Chain A
Amino acid sequence: MALNRLSENLDQLSGQELGFEFDEAAVWAKLESRLENRKSNVYWWTVAASLLLVLIFAPYSLLKKDRSEALIMTSIEEVAKEAPQEIEALNADVSHKLKRHIASEIGLLESRGVSSLQLAELPIKKLSLEPIAIVKQEKKNKPVFAAKDISIIQASLEQPSIGKGRTMTIRAQWQNSTEESNVNYQALKIKLYEKNK
């Protein structure tokens, strides 16, 4: 038996003809409310998704910033790896020049009001480290600059000739010492790190 006819008939008849009544307006009102909720849900889901993206990428960008700061440390470590780099002070004139050079640098830095405490705050684009000069004592009465004698770390900012970034030069101030050079660059790193805190 085929009752397909019934299907067609049933589909075309109104509720009254089928013997039931339903409040179309009330059902529509409920449906509309659900559709509105969905719309608002979609809105909130979009907001939530955006927040989620921010939460995902914000730490990444912060990490990137951290990486640039970490770069300072890494670079300083690299200096430590390179150390001890020694420059022989063959004679008093050389050591005198060296001392004078350091003194002038310190004076220059101080006149600019730059200190190591400001290092972490500087927007570093490019970091360049100059090898720290250590005057090796070859003979008696010749000055020796050793890492353990570090009294201060200074930083200077220089405008690069090429590119948009700034070059930071870090120099260490050394004190005269008659002791044998036994460079402890780890100390240099720690000191800088503490100051950055």
Chain B
Amino acid sequence: MLRLNTKDLIDKSKSGNRKAQQQLFSQLSAPMMGVCVRYMKSTEDAEDVLLEGFYKMFKSLKAFTYESEPAFFGWVKRIMVNESLMKLRKNKEIQLLAINEDLDQEVDVSPLQDLEVSDLLKVIRSIPVGYRTVFNLYEIEGYSHQEISEQLGVSIGTSKSQLFKAKKLLREMLEEKNEDYGS
């Protein structure tokens, strides 16, 4: 994931060493851009989020206590996710509505796992922003509905219903795709 000298890079970045900061950015920018594009519709918006996220990361790096590379990576990723959510909220793109459906009904989206990662990303990015956001947070980042409801300022029911709809839509898209391939 990261080079062995990540801790040194962090330490040097903390003291404002620009080269170390650049190297850290170089190591993290691609995977973090991957996080941002999952949430943002356009690449330009994702770049904006990436830029803002890294700026905040370097700003608050002094307060960060290094424990391990995965912990550091997770911390930066959380910054990117939060920044993405802020951008979505700012653009008023998230309009989450509770849906009266049987939320306990299981929707099987296991075929998603058979997709190529790039195809999966395309599929995820093609669904409405509300669905996509909750799906990303729940299924990919591993947030609970409670955490999602707090992050997005919605009820747990709304979070569940958005996830349900997201899965249903993804399932339908996959079925359509399979039909296209079949025909």
Contacts and interface: CB of A to CB of B under 8 A. Distances in A.
A10 B77 CA distance: 12
B54 A31 contact: yes
Interface of B: 1, 16, 18, 21-22, 25-26, 29-31, 33-35, 37-38, 43, 46-47, 50-51, 54-55, 58-59, 73, 77, 108-110, 112-113, 117-122, 139-142
Given A18-B37, A31-B55, A34-B51, A24 B29 contact: yes
Given A3-B112, A3-B139, A11-B31, A20 B51 contact: no
Given A11-B34, A20-B43, A31 B18 contact: no
Nearest to B119: A19
Interface of A: 1-7, 9-15, 17-22, 24, 27-28, 30-32, 34-35, 38-39
* Interface pairs A-B: 4 shortest CB-CB: A19-B118, A3-B139, A7-B140, A11-B31
A119 to B, nearest CB: 56
Given A3-B140, A22-B46, A35-B55, A12 B33 contact: no
Given A3-B113, A6-B140, A13-B117, A27 B47 contact: yes
B25 A20 contact: no
A32 B121 CA distance: 29
A2 B140 CA distance: 8
Nearest to B31: A11
B51 A22 contact: no
Contacts, number: 103
A26 to B, nearest CB: 8
Contacts of B54: 27, 31
Contacts of B50: 22, 27
B25 A31 contact: yes
Contacts of A14: 30
A13 to B, nearest CB: 6
Interface of A is mostly: helix
Contacts of A34: 51, 55
Contacts of B29: 22, 24, 27-28
A15 B25 CA distance: 14
A31 B22 CA distance: 9
A31 B51 contact: yes
A69 B1 CA distance: 71
27 contacts: A1-B112, A3-B112, A6-B112, A9-B117, A10-B38, A10-B121, A10-B140, A11-B1, A11-B35, A12-B31, A13-B30, A13-B31, A14-B30, A18-B34, A19-B122, A20-B121, A22-B33, A22-B47, A24-B29, A27-B50, A28-B29, A31-B54, A31-B58, A35-B18, A35-B21, A35-B58, A39-B16
B130 to A, nearest CB: 18
Nearest to B109: A1
Contacts of A10: 31, 34-35, 38, 117, 121, 140
A27 B121 CA distance: 22
Given A6-B120, A20-B37, A22-B47, A28 B30 contact: no
B154 to A, nearest CB: 21
A30 B51 contact: yes
A92 B35 CA distance: 107
Contact of A28 (B25, B113, B117, B142): B25
